[in-house]
Amino acid sequence: MAKKTIMLVCSAGMSTSLLVTKMQKAAEGRGLDADIFAVSASEADDNLENKNVDVMLLGPQVRFMKSQFEPKLAAKNIPLDVINMSDYGMMNGENVLNQAMKLMGEE
């Protein structure tokens, strides 16, 4: 399987960095080649321009931005969803990785 790029977006990019670490551990445990990173909402557009993002997940605190990103991502055929609130709160990297894989059709 080709390397997958998973971008998480939150308000400042800080709280999500712990979740990224947990997702990376889960991906390694499955033998997945994944580039998983977090950015602040203000950096999201730059990253979409400069990286080949396969899926974008929004932190629950920026769920209101989903409608802003939908048209941009639809044009690039990039799936988008909001991270489940309880998975985010529990920093459940395994479940959030599962969510990203499902969105990419890579269950």
CA distance linking residue 55 with residue 91, whole number of Å: 19
Catalytically active residues are: 10
Tell whether pTM > 0.85.
yes
> DSSP secondary-structure letter at 6?
E
Long-range contacts (CB closer than 8 Å, 24 or more residues apart) made by 80-87 = 80/55, 80/56, 81/57, 82/57, 82/58, 83/8, 83/19, 83/57, 83/58, 83/59, 84/60, 85/60
- pLDDT tens digits, 33-51: 999 999 999 999 999 999 9
pLDDT at 15 over 90: no
Domain map (residue ranges) of the chain: 4-103
- pLDDT tens digits, 66-98: 999 999 999 999 999 999 999 999 999 999 999
Instruction: Could you please state the CATH topology (level 3) that the domain comprising 4-103 is classified under.
Output: Rossmann fold (3.40.50)
